[in-house]
């Protein structure tokens, strides 16, 4: 069984692209994959740590009202430069030092759209498992590499922190992507019943969470893993995670258009 993960295209900076990670099949190695850059909202400080209780609703309303958010592969329009030297974007402080990052951000917006479209295209009955979905994706993008991952227990493996302005944007985008996968594992756990979900929440942050839950909840744990590895849910989860990643990148790009 794989993990959810984030992928990047080969042309991403070599220093930021680790080698391909294909974990052995097994519960502890099941991750989500994510390709380009990558898992909140500038509305509140809590969002920087994924704590906004209603970020889904706020983000949905904000982007539905923005005609540029739905434009596939297109960067936000150039805005009039602001006198402010910096802006907080989803909890990330963006300054003029990141002005040079705009071309890369535009490429990563395009990649997020492309990756999401590929996962959507792979979502067919011919690909019934997450492993099948990932094989389909790799066939379409054989040179892509994995940037980060989220285990079935909801534990994120993220890139090394960077002091480079572009690297900080990439890392935050990756976090946005992977945080959506964490939320997706929470939803799967909640569907297994209140007792299982309470025990799941009590073990938050434990990389062996599912192994520990199995002894008390064997049927629920098996059902959790079956849904986690369902091909349709896997593809849908990746499409969602890339969509949130793209939204963050679009907001950073818009902020830089005002700052630079």
pLDDT digits (tens, 9 = 90+) for 20-77: 222 323 333 334 444 333 333 333 334 433 434 334 434 433 433 333 333 334 444 5
Quick one: three-class SS letters along the chain?
CCEEEEEECCCCCHHHCCCCCCCCCCHHHCEEEECCCCCCCCCCHHHHHCCCCCHHHHHHHHHHCCCCCCCCCCCCCCCCCCCCCEEEECCEEEEHHHHHHHHHHHHHHHHHHHHHHHHHHHCCCCCCEHHHHHHHHHHHCCCCEEEEEECCCCCEECCCCCCCHHHHHHHHHHHHHHHHHHHHHHHHHHCCCHHHHHHHHHCCCCCCHHHHHHCCCHHHHHHHHHHHCEHHHHHHHHHHHHHHHHHHHHHHHHHHHHHC
The pLDDT score that the predictor gives to residue 85 is 87
The pLDDT score that the predictor gives to residue 56 is 44
């Amino acid at each position: 069984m794989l993990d959810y993960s984030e992928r990047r295209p080969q042309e991403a900076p070599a220093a930021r692209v680790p080698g391909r990670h294909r974990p052995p099949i097994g519960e502890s190695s099941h991750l989500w994959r994510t390709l380009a850059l990558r898992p909140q909202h500038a509305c509140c400080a809590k969002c920087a740590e994924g704590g906004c209780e209603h970020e889904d609703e706020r983000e949905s309303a904000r982007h539905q009202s923005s005609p540029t958010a739905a434009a596939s592969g297109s960067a936000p329009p150039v805005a009039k430069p602001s006198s402010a030297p910096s802006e907080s974007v989803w909890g990330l402080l963006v300054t003029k030092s990141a002005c040079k990052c705009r071309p890369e951000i535009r490429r990563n917006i395009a990649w997020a759209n492309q990756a999401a479209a590929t996962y959507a295209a792979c979502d067919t009955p011919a690909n019934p498992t997450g492993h099948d979905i990932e094989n389909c994706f790799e066939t379409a993008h054989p040179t892509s590499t994995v940037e980060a991952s989220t285990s079935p227990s909801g534990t994120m493996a993220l890139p090394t922190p960077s002091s480079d302005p572009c690297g900080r944007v990439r890392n935050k985008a990756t976090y946005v992507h992977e945080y959506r996968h964490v939320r997706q594992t929470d939803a799967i756990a909640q569907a297994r019943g209140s007792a299982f979900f309470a025990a799941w929440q009590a073990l938050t942050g434990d990389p062996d969470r599912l192994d520990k839950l199995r002894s008390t909840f064997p049927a629920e744990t098996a059902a959790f893993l079956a849904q986690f590895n369902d091909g349709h849910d896997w593809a849908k989860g990746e499409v969602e995670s890339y969509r949130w990643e793209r939204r963050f990148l679009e907001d950073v790009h818009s902020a830089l258009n005002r700052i630079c």
